[in-house]
Copies of this chain bind each other. A is one copy, B any other.
Amino acid sequence: MTRNFADRLNAAIARCGNACLVGLDPHLELLPSEFDDARDVHCSRARRAQRVGDFCCQVIDLIAERVPAVKPQSAFFEVLGADGAQAWERVVCHAHRANLLVIGDVKRGDIASTAAAYATAFLEGSTPGEREHLCDAVTLSPFLGADSIDPFLSACRRSGTGAYVLVRTSNKGSADFQRHGEPELSFLVADKVKQWGADLVGESGWSSIGAVVGATHGAELRAFRERMPRTPFLLPGYGAQGASASDVVGAFTSSASGPPLGALVNSSRGITFAYRDAQHRGKPWQRATSDALDTMIREITAALGAVR
């Protein structure tokens, strides 16, 4: 995968006709009842990891060809230790085979050769023949500064992969540090993200270095968009976290042909655990997930109608 990540992403969005991203957060306690065996106190960790992998692969089969990408959350695999790491590789592989781009939600941030090791781990691989379980992009935390991001930029250039840097997160506590200072820290990070991605702009006009901007801050999205005009956004917060389709509009711009571009709108448990929501009660979980994704695609598409 040496083609520019942003170009591959935008081609996938055009192919699917939407920019919805399904987050895979396989929290053991939230899995449907047919996975009860994995919650049994006597269930081995290896078996739990197997079942977590089963669930994610089934979700992938349900959503493949309908969305451009998935975002597995590393923590829910790491909680199962080395067995979880195997499940992670299996799920990433399965997503690639289903023609989905994979954005590894790992939020790593470290320096020098340690950052380079993380970049190798997720984007480039250390041994031949292990490309299938690598990610197309990862999420990164900027706290340690530019030299913590540099090794990822180099990896992205070499391998046609991408990175989404945390700029303003969707949680309440994001204000604690991200809004500190004048300008607010998030705006300072935004300016750096723009700069870091400048020489990774692809043929589609978008950079492979993106920004995570919480969709729960809808009013600010346009300000971030103005500061980072070629930066693809990853927007968490839609659905379960309370943001609506109209909140995300400010992140998008029209494209010559096909759907508006500029962001991926993420929903995690609103899709994968839709069976728990009142409006889907009584449905098999697969049906609930499928219907919830239909609704999300319809809502986002309608909200973006004005941008088109």
Interface residues of A (CB under 8 A from B): 25, 27-28, 41, 43-45, 48, 73, 75-76, 78-82, 84-86, 88-89, 107-115, 117-118, 120-122, 126-128, 130, 133, 141-148, 166, 169-178, 180-182, 185, 188-189, 192
Q: Give the residues in chain B near A109, CB-CB below 8 Å.
A: 107, 109, 141, 143
Q: Are B177 and A75 in contact (CB under 8 A)?
A: no
Q: Are A114 and B76 in contact (CB under 8 A)?
A: yes
Q: Give the residues in chain B near A115, CB-CB below 8 Å.
A: 75
Q: A82-B86, A130-B45 are in contact. Are A146 and B176 (CB under 8 A)?
A: yes
A176 to B118, CA, bound (A): 21
Q: Are A145 and B171 in contact (CB under 8 A)?
A: yes
Q: Are A181 and B180 in contact (CB under 8 A)?
A: yes
Q: Which 6 A-B pairs have the closest CB atoms?
A: A181-B181, A145-B173, A145-B176, A147-B173, A85-B85, A75-B117
Partner of A82, one of B41, B88, B189: B88
Give min CB distance, A308 to chain B, whole Å: 33
Show 14 residue pairs from A and B whose CB-CB distance is below 8 angstroms, ordered by the A residue: A41-B128, A45-B126, A73-B110, A73-B114, A75-B110, A78-B117, A82-B82, A107-B108, A109-B109, A109-B143, A141-B141, A142-B177, A147-B171, A148-B171
A147 to B115, CA, bound (A): 25
Q: A79-B120, A85-B82 are in contact. Are A181 and B178 (CB under 8 A)?
A: no
Q: A27-B113, A111-B171, A143-B177 are in contact. Are A121 and B78 (CB under 8 A)?
A: yes
A179 to B114, CA, bound (A): 22
Give min CB distance, A16 to chain B, whole Å: 26
Q: Give the residues in chain B near A173, CB-CB below 8 Å.
A: 111, 144-148
Partner of A81, one of B89, B112, B174: B89
A147 to B81, CA, bound (A): 24
Q: Give the residues in chain B near A41, CB-CB below 8 Å.
A: 128
Q: Are A45 and B127 in contact (CB under 8 A)?
A: yes
A112 to B268, CA, bound (A): 13
Give min CB distance, A279 to chain B, whole Å: 22
Q: A145-B178, A182-B181 are in contact. Are A85 and B81 (CB under 8 A)?
A: yes
Q: Give the residues in chain B near A128, CB-CB below 8 Å.
A: 41
Q: A48-B127, A180-B181 are in contact. Are A169 and B111 (CB under 8 A)?
A: yes
A264 to B181, CA, bound (A): 31
